[in-house]
Amino acid sequence: MAKSETSALKTKILKQTITSSLLSAESGSIGLPHTTRISRNGLHA
């Protein structure tokens, strides 16, 4: 149980990191508002 929870958490963090990196690269210095908008749209894991 604990092992699968840890694995799921790592996957979630990895997705967030990748998404954040892509958004930062796309939007440059205005990463925060862009990320917030994506979060409301449900694309930001």
What is the Cα–Cα distance from 5 to 43, expressed in whole angstroms? 22
Residue 26 is predicted with a pLDDT of 64
Reported as a pLDDT band with limits 50, 70 and 90, residue 9 is: very high
Q: 27 to each of 7, 12, 15, 32, 41, how far by Cα in Å?
A: 30, 22, 18, 9, 17
The residue ranking higher by pLDDT, 44 or 42, is: 42
Q: Tell me the pLDDT tens digit for each residue of 28-42.
A: 555 455 555 555 555
Residue 45 is predicted with a pLDDT of 44
Whats the size of the chain, residue-wise?
Answer: 45
What is the Cα–Cα distance from 33 to 5, expressed in whole angstroms? 30
Q: Long-range CB contacts (< 8 A, 24+ apart) of 32-41?
A: none
pTM above 0.75, yes or no: no
Residue 10 is predicted with a pLDDT of 93
The residue ranking higher by pLDDT, 45 or 5, is: 5
